[in-house]
Amino acid sequence: MKNRVMREIKDKKIKMRHPFIFLAQKLGLQSILALSIVASALLLNIVLYFFKKTGVLKFLSLGWPGLKIVLMTLPYDYIVLFIITIILANFIVHKFDLSRGISMNSNVSVVALLAFTLLLSSFFAVSGVENTVKGWSKNKIPPDVAISGKILDFSNDQIVVQEGSGQITTIILDNQTNRIFLTGPGYVKGKFLRAVGSRNENNTAEFQAEEVECCDAD
């Protein structure tokens, strides 16, 4: 067998690869794996910061109309990139396992990667990385169908709020408006509400509410 292998090598039927090639491949895979994990953690940090900054998840308390607002607002580009980087990292992990003759359950490796990514993302959050990446996502709550603002004035048929952009908007309430008040009407000034409905096309300072939830501190 040994002589046969040596003859095939001499006949160049078997090409010998330099050890540095194997080392370079291993280092390349390790670098890609490290970059994939860091990228996925950074992308997760961006998504979580987006939820914190916009407060869009609070619209879920408005039921199906609020869920539609969340689905319209999600930063799908970053979510898809996050999934891709996790899949890539998982693929490379399995490459390492196969090269060592190890067979790891795919679910176990994915859970381990997600756990490590979440840990690294938490480190980024503590380090204030979001202050650098906060301008990367342009997604925001669609102002034509949803509103969130600080209450300036309140009555039975309208609520005046100041939106995050600084615009003063009057929210119109009628008998069809579903109203959810977490505090008494006398304690709402200075607090924040969320509403789903439609903005007046002719007067953007008016918003007809279908669902209103009031109020919380932010």
Q: Directed axis angle between helix 76-99 and helix 19-54, to 10°?
A: 150
Please indicate whether residue 135 or residue 37 has the higher confidence score (pLDDT). 37
User: Is the pLDDT assigned to residue 21 strictly greater than 60?
Assistant: no
Query: Which residues make beta-bridge pairs with 211?
Result: 178, 196
Burial class (CB in 10 A: 0-12, 13-18, 19+), 91: middle
pLDDT per residue as tens digits for the range 74-102: 888 888 888 888 888 888 777 765 445 44
Dist. CA 28–CA 108, nearest whole Å: 24
Q: What is the pLDDT of residues 140-171, one digit of tens each?
A: 888 899 998 898 888 778 889 999 888 999 99
Closest CA to 149 of 159, 137, 158, 161: 161
Q: 146-216: which CATH number, 2.40.50.140, 3.40.718.10, 1.20.1260.10, 1.10.10.10? A: 2.40.50.140
The pLDDT, as a whole number, for residue 112 is: 75
Sign of CA dihedral 162, 48, 212, 191: negative
* Domain boundary assignment for the chain: 2-60+74-133, 146-216
- Helix or strand (DSSP H, E) at 160: strand 158-163
Q: What pLDDT was estimated at residue 169?
A: 93
Give the least confident one: 3-7, 82-86, 106-110. 3-7
What is residue 69's predicted lDDT score, i.e. its pLDDT?
A: 92
Note whether 121 and 41 are within 8 A (CB): yes
The partner residues of 180 in beta bridges, in order of sequence, read: 213
Least confident of 19-33, 70-84, 126-140: 19-33
Tokens at 133, concatenated: 């990446």
In this model, does residue 108 exceed pLDDT 80?
no
